[in-house]
Chains A and B, each alone.
Chain A
Amino acid sequence: MKPTDISAPDYFHKVVDCQWACPAHTPVPEYIRLIAEGRYSDAYMINWKSNVFPGILGRTCDRPCEPACRRGRIEENPVAICRLKRVAADFKDDIKHRLPRPGPRNGKRIALVGGGPASLAVARDLVPLGYHCTVFDADPKAGGMMRSQIPKFRLPDTVIDEETDYILDLGVEFKGGHRIDSLKELLAANYDAIFVGSGAPRGRELDIPGRKEAAANVHIGIEWLASVSFGHIDKIGRRVIVLGGGNTAMDCCRTARRLGGESVKVIVRSGFEEMKASPWEKEDALHEDIPILNYMVPIAFVHDNGKLSGVTFQKVKAEYDGKGRRNLVPSGEPDETVACDDVLVAVGQENAFPWIETDCGIEFDKWHMPKVDPKTFVSTNPKVFFGGDAAFGPKNIIWAVAHGHDAALSIHRMLSGEDINERPLPEVHVSSQKMGIHEWSYDNDISADKRFKVPHRDKVIALKDIRAEVELGYDVKLALGEAQRCLNCDVQTVFTAPLCIECDACVDICPMDCITFTENGEEDDLRRRLKAPSPHHDQALYIADGLKTGRVMAKDEDVCLHCGLCAERCPTGAWDMQKYLIDMVHAGSTCQSKARSAA
């Protein structure tokens, strides 16, 4: 294998699995260390810069970071990264004075369609640079689906208000209750750029017999959730069936439990394991006495002259074809009718762009989605950008934020007369953490604690009040314990071959058997000759040559604890622990044209 080029910004970035997995690339270990130090405001600001909505995301994020967390590969559970983010938000001091101020107006005007996370992220990045941003939203308040679809018992309004206000107070013009019905009109208003962050606002229909007749008691999940959110609906029948297995279904069933649904069931086509809902959301539903029935396909709404009485299901089973694809085939068991008073349909969301006229220069693909460049987020109209669910279909908040950053950068470059396809490289800092012979500027003593549970409100009380937040968040002590579980994967093991005397001290001390000195070879061959098995080929091998014996140092990054013992036991300083920080490029980052610097 070729020696590893650790100066490539991506190499160490990938080792910080959580940060690499995060669409916004939030520097997770960095803020977790600040939480452990009790520097909540600093931790919050790191998040705010990167993901814009730490308090909201700390309660609702889909957490792609956690399945990626290295800790999950050495014991049962990853670090509770998401809930630690909430800790930063819960315990911070007033941070208003740390927010950017709007720069001198540059005379450029941006229109943003939809007041959700994508648009707000764009505005957050552009207003400080002097752009005049106008956000249009059909709802009276900003927040989009964060406000309309996420139940208040998961995300209180106060949190949404606080974090949307941080952005609006920068000087964003927010036009609430103003639905954009025509892109053509908006284009005619001569904005310098338009950003479409209107989400995926339409709930998918379930067109089966009885749907029309029983319409009074069959509700589309996201519309129903929005109505509950805005206070238009405050009760539901005693027996409720929720159709669908995603997170919206989980929100629907838990909301129904609080509006009079005594017997609420979630019924899904697929198997329980394959449901789209996050495991923790399924857990929360089960905890609230909501059974989840699987392998049942709804085939008809049963009604008595328009009065819904139940849903009939066909029983299916999963079969896998030669290519490993799953097919649901009838199991042969008799159909089953489940009695109910109301049905909530949460079988997916769709985009809808009836307001975009065909002669606006926006091309659509065969799935009726706008053609959007995945890097720059520009549409086929060079002045119109898309982001969030409006760009590539339903995802989640953290993706919308990431899209927002990238789109804002494109808009800023375009309006500065620069090529939007040219993306500046991120700035990378790598610095030694050595403080003394065996002292490091981070706590390298690995905690053996298991993941700490987030305290929940008592179920009886929680189910009585739809606005009572269920999760109470970690207290300071629990937060410290959980923060200590982080392995500091951003503190990298950096090897300098010319200093190495091949004494094997690092090999002997490494608790995870990560390090091997051996003859070089092709990757597959080398991986077989490592000291410990190397099952994850997506995890890099760090190779260094230039040793006196002609061998190479091969370190499997997979399960390294970043405990620094290799560096502590190295007599010559060939190993060092160096903190890697990457500054993702946002609109207006300083040094955009400067060459990158790495190890």
Chain B
Amino acid sequence: MTYIAKPKFHHPGLKKNELGYTHRDYEGKISTLCAGCGHDSITASIIEACYELSIEPHRVAKISGIGCSSKTPDYFLGNSHGFNSVHGRMPSVLTGANLANRELIYLGVSGDGDSASIGFGQFAHSIRRGVNMTYIVENNGVYGLTKGQFSATADRGSKSKKGVTNTDNAIDLVAIALQLGATFVARSFSGDKDQLVPLIAAAIRHKGASFIDVISPCIAFNNHAGSTKSFDYVREHNDAVNRLDVLVGRDPISVDYAPGTVQVVEQHDGSRLALRKLDADYDPHDRLGAMTFLQKHAAKGQIVTGLLYVDPDAEDLHTHLNTVETPLNTLDEQALCPGSAALDKINASLR
């Protein structure tokens, strides 16, 4: 780790967003992860996405569990709310916070250990309920903090740094998320920010359960030959189905695409996603098709990345539960204690 603080000086020509912030204003403390960790690139991508969306840092809640990945919220959005919960319990804490205050942007940051093992059930239920959040798994296939044991997402047949072969089947969190009804599902790679930053931005703007699985090589324990989550392996086997541009507001699509190659998806909040197709047959609105596509390519050893599924008309948990529009902390006494007449009415309805 680095002991000095990152200097406050920044490039004098840095662009500012609508709020007058540079991307440096979205940083947190300096990372204490190993040099070269893929997680740091995801951190940089979250910073970039929030900067590009001109998000007010104090309107974001970043919530994590335990593990290398769950340490990262300390390294971005230093002026946002944060909750570093117990191992695997990020989804519950996030769900609770979301129910109490629906106006914040919820970033759930977790790892493959945190979400695919100890917190697997939590992960499943938060997705199943359609909590409005951006759930990012920083997936390196190993337990880095305990020196590199295989995690539940390590591919069968891949080799550990010591040369041991993994005999267990891997959990594909993307497949599970699709199956459980997530309304925005993507996979990306920490070494490809051009792909990752717009995916994070689109997920943040999506109203519903967004899930992004980011392959993030562990430099210390999982970046060797025989690993299926190394920089070299992912670069060689990456099969991107599309490229994304997020268009916020009324910006016209200025990029000149060849006709028929771009699909524009309009989300509920008015943001539009311009999808450049790389695979002509891939349809990101077809949940079943996506699942089949994933399985077929996985069988061939390919890692499918891109925006895999999006439901632009998604609903979230608040809609399902018909909850009050305002955050609970802004409800006044009148709303919270409507008086005995209201109580009598409720009691009467239950008789």
Contact = CB atoms under 8 A, between A and B. Distances in A.
A511 B4 CA distance: 12
29 contacts: A74-B9, A438-B3, A444-B4, A445-B4, A445-B5, A446-B4, A501-B36, A503-B36, A503-B41, A503-B219, A504-B190, A505-B40, A508-B43, A509-B31, A511-B9, A512-B11, A513-B14, A514-B11, A549-B235, A559-B11, A561-B9, A565-B6, A568-B35, A569-B36, A569-B40, A570-B36, A571-B36, A571-B219, A572-B36
A75 B9 contact: yes
B41 A535 contact: no
A463 B40 CA distance: 60
Interface string B94-106: 0000000000000
Given A512-B9, A512-B10, A549-B235, A503 B191 contact: yes
Interface in A563-599: 563, 565, 568-572
> DSSP class of B's interface residues: helix, strand, loop or mixed?
loop
Given A446-B7, A502-B191, A513-B14, A548 B232 contact: yes
B44 interface: yes
B223 interface: yes
A208 interface: no
Nearest to B235: A549
A513 B40 CA distance: 15
Nearest to B6: A511
B7 A570 contact: no
A382 interface: no
B124 interface: no
A448 interface: yes
A236 B7 CA distance: 53
A73 interface: yes
A568 B2 contact: yes
Interface in A432-477: 438, 444-446, 448
Nearest to B30: A509
A99 interface: no
Contacts of A438: 1-3
B318 interface: no
A561 B5 CA distance: 13
Nearest to A507: B44
A330 to B, nearest CB: 41
A509 B75 CA distance: 11
B345 interface: no
B161 interface: no
A502 B231 CA distance: 8
Contacts of B232: 501, 548
B191 A504 contact: yes
Interface in A463-511: 501-505, 507-509, 511
Contacts of A505: 35-37, 40-41
A571 B2 CA distance: 12
Contact of A503 (B4, B5, B8, B217): B217
B12 A73 contact: yes
Interface residues of A, number: 34
Contacts of B10: 511-513
A77 to B, nearest CB: 13
B25 to A, nearest CB: 13
Nearest to B2: A568
A546 interface: no
B87 interface: no
A504 B4 CA distance: 20
Contacts of B3: 438
Contacts of B231: 501-503
Interface of A: 73-75, 438, 444-446, 448, 501-505, 507-509, 511-514, 532-533, 535, 548-549, 559, 561, 563, 565, 568-572
Contacts of A548: 232, 235
Given A448-B7, A508-B40, A532 B2 contact: no
Interface string B195-235: 00000000000000000000001010001000000011001
Contacts of B34: 571
Interface of B: 1-14, 24, 30-31, 34-38, 40-41, 43-44, 190-191, 193, 217, 219, 223, 231-232, 235
A75 B193 CA distance: 30
A548 B231 CA distance: 10
A507 B3 CA distance: 18
A561 B40 CA distance: 21
A565 B3 CA distance: 10
Contacts, number: 97
Nearest to A559: B11
A532 B11 contact: yes
Given A503-B231, A508-B40, A535 B6 contact: no
A439 to B, nearest CB: 9
A116 to B, nearest CB: 41
Contacts of A561: 7, 9
Give 10 nearest A-B pairs by CB, closest first.
A571-B36, A533-B13, A446-B7, A508-B44, A532-B11, A503-B36, A445-B4, A571-B35, A571-B219, A505-B36
Contacts of A571: 34-36, 219
A245 B41 CA distance: 55
A572 B4 CA distance: 20
Nearest to B24: A511
Contacts of B12: 73-74, 559
Given A75-B9, A504-B193, 16 more contacts: A501-B232, A503-B36, A503-B37, A503-B41, A505-B40, A508-B43, A508-B44, A509-B31, A511-B7, A512-B10, A513-B14, A549-B235, A561-B7, A563-B7, A565-B4, A569-B2
A501 B41 CA distance: 13
A572 B35 CA distance: 9
B193 to A, nearest CB: 7
Contacts of B38: 503
Contact of B4 (A74, A512, A563): A563
Nearest to B1: A438
Contacts of A532: 11, 13-14
A501 B235 CA distance: 11
A445 B2 CA distance: 11
A569 B8 contact: no
Nearest to A445: B4
A502 B191 CA distance: 8
Contacts of A74: 9, 12
Contacts of A73: 12
Nearest to A512: B11
A504 B41 contact: yes
Contacts of B41: 503-505, 508
Contact of A570 (B31, B35, B43, B235): B35
A448 B9 contact: yes
A563 B9 CA distance: 11
B113 to A, nearest CB: 21
B233 to A, nearest CB: 12
B24 to A, nearest CB: 8
Contacts of A502: 191, 231
A533 B15 CA distance: 9
B142 to A, nearest CB: 15
Nearest to A439: B3
A445 B4 CA distance: 6
Nearest to A535: B13
Contacts of B219: 501, 503, 571
Instruction: From A514, A569, A570, A571, name the one whose CB has the most chain B CB atoms within 10 angstroms.
Output: A569
A438 B35 CA distance: 10
B75 to A, nearest CB: 10
Contacts of B2: 438, 509, 565, 568-569
Contacts of A508: 40-41, 43-44
Contacts of B31: 509, 569
A517 to B, nearest CB: 10
